[in-house]
Amino acid sequence: MERIAFVLKLAGDRAAGIAAARSLGEDFASAGLANFSLWHMQQYLFGYGECEAYRGQLDAALAKLPAGVELACAPGTMRLMYHDIGVVRADKSLIRHRVFATKLKPGCEEEYKRRHDGLIAARGDAVKEGPESNFTIWYGDGHIFGYCELVKAFDHEPTPEERAETAAWETRQLEIMDWLTDDVDWLTGERHPAVERVL
Q: Which CATH number describes the domain made up of 2-197?
A: 3.30.70
Residue 9: is its pLDDT beyond 90?
A: yes
C-alpha distances in angstroms, 87 versus 130, 132, 162?
7, 9, 22
pLDDT digits (tens, 9 = 90+) for 52-110: 999 999 999 999 998 889 999 999 999 999 999 999 999 999 999 999 999 999 999 99
- What is the model's pTM? 0.96
C-alpha distances in angstroms, 161 versus 5, 38, 151, 158?
34, 34, 21, 8
Residue 8: is its pLDDT beyond 90?
A: yes
**Given this model, what pLDDT does residue 177 score?**
98
Average of pLDDT values for 116-136? 95
Domain coordinates in residue numbering, the chain = 2-197
